[in-house]
Structure 1
Amino acid sequence: MKTLKDVYEHHAEMPFISPKYEQELLKKPIAKRQMERTGEGYLPGHIILLWRIQFGTYTTHHPHHKYFYTTYGIDAQKELEQLIEDGLVRIDTAFESVKLLPVMTLKELLQDKEVKGLSKMKRADLEAALQATYTEASLARIFDERSYSLTEAGQELLDKHPEIIAKHPQKKY
Structure 2
Amino acid sequence: MNTTNIEKQNSHLDLQDQAVQDIFALYQDYPEVPYISKKRDKEGWLNAVRIGSEQLVPKRNMIRFEEDILPGHLILLWRIQFGTFTNDSVYPKYFEYNYGINGRQALDEVIEKGYAVELSATDSLDHLNAAGLKAILKHYEVAGYSKMKKPELMELAKQELSEAQLASQFPLRGYLITPAGEAILAKYPEVVDRHPKKKY
**TM-score, normalising length from structure 2?**
0.79
Instruction: Tell me: CA distance 1:76–1:49, structure 2 relative to 1, closer, same or farther (3 Å).
Output: same
Are 2:62 and 2:99, in contact at CA under 8 Å, matched by a contact in 1?
Answer: yes
Report what 2:24 is aligned to.
5
Give the aligned residue type for 1:5.
F
Q: Is the 8 A contact 2:122 2:163 kept in 1?
A: yes
CA contact (8 A) 2:129 2:150 kept: no
Aligned to 1:47: 74
Cα distance in 2 for partners of 1:116, 1:9 equals: 64
Greater CA deviation, 131-140 or 38-47? 38-47
Q: Counterpart of 1:3 in 2: which secondary structure? A: helix
Q: After superposition, where does 1:100-139 map in structure 2 within 5 Å?
A: 100-139=127-166
Give 1:103 shift.
Answer: 0.9
Q: CA deviation at 1:111?
A: 3.5
* Identity value in percent: 40
- Matching residue's letter, 1:85: E
Distance 2:35 2:139 in 1: 47
Higher RCO, 1 or 2 (CA under 8 Å, sep at least 6)?
Answer: 1
The number of residue pairs the alignment matches comes to: 173
Q: Which residue of 2 aligns with 1:66?
A: 93
Is the deviation greater in 141-150 or in 53-62?
53-62
| Counterparts of 2:69 and 2:129, CA distance in 1 | 36
The equivalent position to 1:18 in structure 2, one of 34, 37, 47, is 37
Match of 1:96 in 2: 123
1:155 equivalenced with 2:182 (yes/no): yes
Higher percent of residues as helix: 1
What is the match of residue 8 of structure 2? Answer: none
CA distance in 2, matches of 1:91, 1:25: 37
CA RMSD, aligned part only? 2.0
TM-score by length of 1: 0.90
Cα 1:149–1:21 change in 2 (3 A) is farther
1:41: Cα distance to partner? 2.6
Quick one: which amino acid aligns to residue 156 of structure 2? Answer: A
**Distance in 2 of aligned mates of 1:8 and 1:93:** 41
